[in-house]
């Protein structure tokens, strides 16, 4: 029986090249992403759980997932969750991104939010319609997407 | 992946160079950004941080404090736990029976997670991976090494453990079971390596110097008394 | 909450194709293993991942799989090697005493020398 389709993150057993076993210390940018994520996730804020963080990363388009570094994916997930939970809006992130780029002398429009897979992810049992709990924007099921029961019994 | 960074931290860890295993006392330090941010996600970090601080969601001070807190989490912590288990049989039993309770005696907490300590024996060698993301006992060992989070390790560890171990310079007899532990749920795994021969009478402090980060992940054995790989 | 399985039980991982956040890796779907331990009940990550309350909690088991069972000889491992993973109860089916024999190793595949 053939194995079902799987996400880019579900990579156990995939063929890959040699492992770079050398030491790479994280940069300050990466450490800050790590610190912010912990602050946002843990009490007293507890804006989201580890599981939501994982889901947000797994929701990145496969090509984005495969080509992005570890903390790069965390940055994208943090953005998506902050918007999903209504803490920031896409528009203000875009505006600030454009301004930060200008500060560094870079022309052109702000980078768009990275492509994500279409929504339509299963919902927790008992919920009807809508997106994840508490969401104001972000991952709403697209029109016509089937709402699926969560989980095998 | 995360862009090019110059490495200038005194150790020449050329790929494949296994005469210098990762020290247990990794600098929990930070490699300074050696260049201005240039990738979109680096600008995104700045944008998000500024917005969150301006809106009073978090403070700059909290970020600094968190960075400092995590400076204190490093493989040396795990090495102390292992060395104590090697020298204190009752602690070892407690550690294997209930990892959370045992490491709490030494001041380590993993709220919401179950710490499982994996005892290496002559029959079984454990190697930990998280194929789905990169779960790691961070609260004890600090941030995981980059290779642990790489697609190469995550993909190949469960299918080619012997080849992966060989890339770390670790070769084990076929008669020994290599048990690859895929960290798929709420357990966090710490390998308790075998105590190297020739260390009779050593103090726990001295023994801890033989316990490398990689030996607690399971891609290596603890160092021999002469400092080489076992 | 009572656990369906206990240490020593033979189990099969469901070959379920549901999408969305799950913590059962695809490489173990459809594979047979042995329960090593019962880790007790935990909030369901498949619910938590979407802002749900994680209820009802699911029992999680540590399940050991022979490498040959998972890869059928197509890997780089020794005969005794294994992979162990934490699998939630709703992803496991019991295997009875009439469990069919494991599929044969494919001939000509590379394995550890």
Interface of A with C in 41-70 (CB under 8 A): 48-49, 51-52, 54-55, 58
| B85-89 CB contacts, 8 Å cutoff, 24+ apart | B85/B117, B85/B192, B86/B195, B86/B204, B86/B207, B87/B203, B87/B204, B87/B207, B88/B204
Does any domain span residue A148? Answer: no
Q: Domain locations in chain C?
A: 10-94
Average of per-residue pLDDT across B104-110: 97
User: Does the pLDDT at position A132 exceed 60?
Assistant: no
**For chain B, what is the mean pLDDT?**
89
Which of C21, C73, C110 is the best mutation test for A, with the most CBs of A within 10 A? C21
Domain containing A99: what range? 28-103
C4 or C1, which is more confident: C4
| Structural domains of chain A, count | 1
- Give per-residue pLDDT as tens, A66-85: 999 999 999 999 999 999 99
**CATH code, C10-94:** 2.30.30.50
**Pairwise CB contact (< 8 Å): C26 & A12:** yes
Report DSSP letters for A80-138, one per residue. HHHHHTTSS-HHHHHHHHHHHHHHTT--SPPPPPPPB--S-PPPPTT--SSSSTT-SSS
**Is residue B180 within 8 angstroms of chain C, CB to CB?**
yes
Question: Is residue A125 domain-resident?
Answer: no
Q: Which chains touch A (3 or more CB pairs under 8 A)?
A: B, C
Q: Supply the pLDDT for residue A34.
A: 98
Q: Which of A115-129, B62-76, C58-72 has the lowest mean pLDDT?
A: A115-129
Question: How confident is the model at residue A22, as a pLDDT?
Answer: 95
Contacts of A3 in chain C (CB under 8 A): 15, 26-27, 29-30
Residue B19 has pLDDT above 90, yes or no: no
The whole-number average pLDDT for the span A54-64 is 97
Residue B17 has pLDDT above 50, yes or no: no
Say how far apart CA B109 and CA B139 lie, in whole Å.
Answer: 7
- Are residues C82 and B186, on separate chains, in Cβ contact within 8 Å? no
B170-202 pLDDT, tens digit per residue, is 999 999 999 999 999 999 999 999 999 999 999
Q: What is the mean pLDDT of residues B141-146?
A: 98
Closest chain C C-alpha to B218 CA, distance in angstroms: 13
Residue A10 to residue B131, Cβ atoms within 8 A: yes
pLDDT, tens digit, 9 for 90 and up, residues A133-153: 333 333 333 333 333 333 343
Give the nearest chain A residue to C23 (CA atoms): A10
A122 inside 8 A of chain C by CB? yes
Q: CATH code at A94?
A: 1.10.472.20
pLDDT level of residue B32 (50, 70, 90 thresholds): low
pLDDT tier at C96 (50, 70, 90 boundaries)?
confident
Sign of the torsion angle spanned by Cα atoms B157, B158, B161, B163 = negative
The pLDDT > 90 percentage for chain B reads: 80
Whether residue B161 lies within 8 A of chain C, CB to CB, comes out as yes
pLDDT digits (tens, 9 = 90+) for B52-102: 999 999 999 999 999 999 989 999 999 999 999 999 999 999 999 999 999
> What tokens were used for A116?
């994500």
Asked whether the predicted pLDDT for residue B25 surpasses 60, the reply is: no
Judge: C86–B162 Cβ closer than 8 Å, yes or no.
no
- Whether residue B144 has pLDDT greater than 60: yes
A-C contacts (CB, under 8 Å):
90
What's the Cα-to-Cα distance from C47 to each of A49, A118, B76, C51, C59, rounded to whole Å? 11, 19, 36, 7, 14
Q: Where are the beta strands (DSSP E) in chain B?
A: 114-119, 124-129, 177-182, 187-192
Question: What's the pLDDT tens digit per position in A1-25?
Answer: 565 579 999 999 999 999 999 999 9
pLDDT, residue C11, reads: 98
Say if residue C54's pLDDT is above 50: yes
Q: pTM of whole model > 0.90?
A: no
Taking an 8 Å cut-off on Cβ atoms, the answer to whether C52 and A55 are in contact is no
- Domain membership flag for residue A97: yes
The residue of chain C nearest to residue B162, with distances taken between CA atoms, is: C77
């Amino acid at each position: 029986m053939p194995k079902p389709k799987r996400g880019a993150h579900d990579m156990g057993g995939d063929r890959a090249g040699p492992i770079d076993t050398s030491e790479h210390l994280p940069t300050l940018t990466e450490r800050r992403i790590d610190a912010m994520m912990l602050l946002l996730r843990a009490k007293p804020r507890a804006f989201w759980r580890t599981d939501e963080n994982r889901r947000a990363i797994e929701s990145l388009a496969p090509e984005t997932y495969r080509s992005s570094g570890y903390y790069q994916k965390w940055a994208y997930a943090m953005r998506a969750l902050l918007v999903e939970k209504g803490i920031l809006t896409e528009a203000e992130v875009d505006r600030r991104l454009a301004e930060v780029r200008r500060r560094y002398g870079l022309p052109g429009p702000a980078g768009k939010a990275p492509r994500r897979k279409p929504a339509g992810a299963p919902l927790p049992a008992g919920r009807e319609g809508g997106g994840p709990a508490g969401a104001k924007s972000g991952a709403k099921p697209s029109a016509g997407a089937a709402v699926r029961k969560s989980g095998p019994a | 992946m995360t862009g090019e960074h110059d490495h200038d931290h005194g150790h020449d860890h050329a790929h494949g160079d296994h005469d210098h295993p990762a020290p247990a006392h990794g600098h929990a330090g930070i490699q300074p950004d050696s260049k201005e941010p240039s990738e979109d996600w680096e600008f995104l970090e700045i944008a998000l941080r500024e917005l969150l601080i301006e809106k009073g969601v978090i403070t700059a001070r909290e970020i600094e404090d968190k960075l400092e807190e995590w400076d204190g989490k490093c493989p040396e912590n795990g090495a102390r736990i292992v060395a104590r288990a090697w020298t204190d049989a009752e602690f070892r039993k407690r550690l294997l029976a209930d990892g959370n309770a045992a490491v709490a005696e030494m001041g380590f907490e993993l709220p919401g997670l179950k710490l499982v300590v994996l005892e290496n024996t002559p029959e079984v060698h454990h190697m930990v991976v998280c194929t789905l993301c990169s779960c790691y006992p961070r609260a004890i060992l600090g941030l995981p090494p980059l290779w642990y989070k790489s697609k190469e390790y995550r993909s190949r560890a469960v299918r080619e453990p012997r080849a992966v171990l060989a890339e770390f310079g670790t070769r084990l007899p076929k008669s020994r079971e290599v048990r690859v532990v895929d960290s798929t749920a709420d357990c966090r795994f710490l390998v308790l390596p075998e105590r190297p021969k020739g260390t009779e009478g050593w103090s726990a402090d001295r023994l801890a110097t033989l316990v490398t980060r990689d030996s607690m992940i399971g891609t290596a054995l603890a160092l021999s008394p002469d400092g080489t790989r076992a | 909450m009572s656990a369906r399985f206990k240490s020593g039980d033979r189990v099969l991982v469901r070959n379920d194709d549901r999408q969305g956040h799950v913590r059962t890796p695809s490489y173990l779907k459809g594979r047979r293993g042995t329960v090593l331990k019962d880790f007790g009940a935990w909030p369901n990550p498949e619910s938590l991942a979407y802002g749900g309350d994680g209820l009802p909690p699911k029992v999680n088991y540590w399940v050991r799989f022979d490498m040959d069972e998972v890869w059928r000889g197509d890997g780089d491992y020794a005969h005794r090697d294994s992979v162990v993973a934490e699998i939630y109860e709703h992803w496991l089916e019991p295997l009875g005493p009439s469990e069919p024999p494991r599929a044969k190793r494919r001939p000509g595949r590379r394995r550890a020398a």
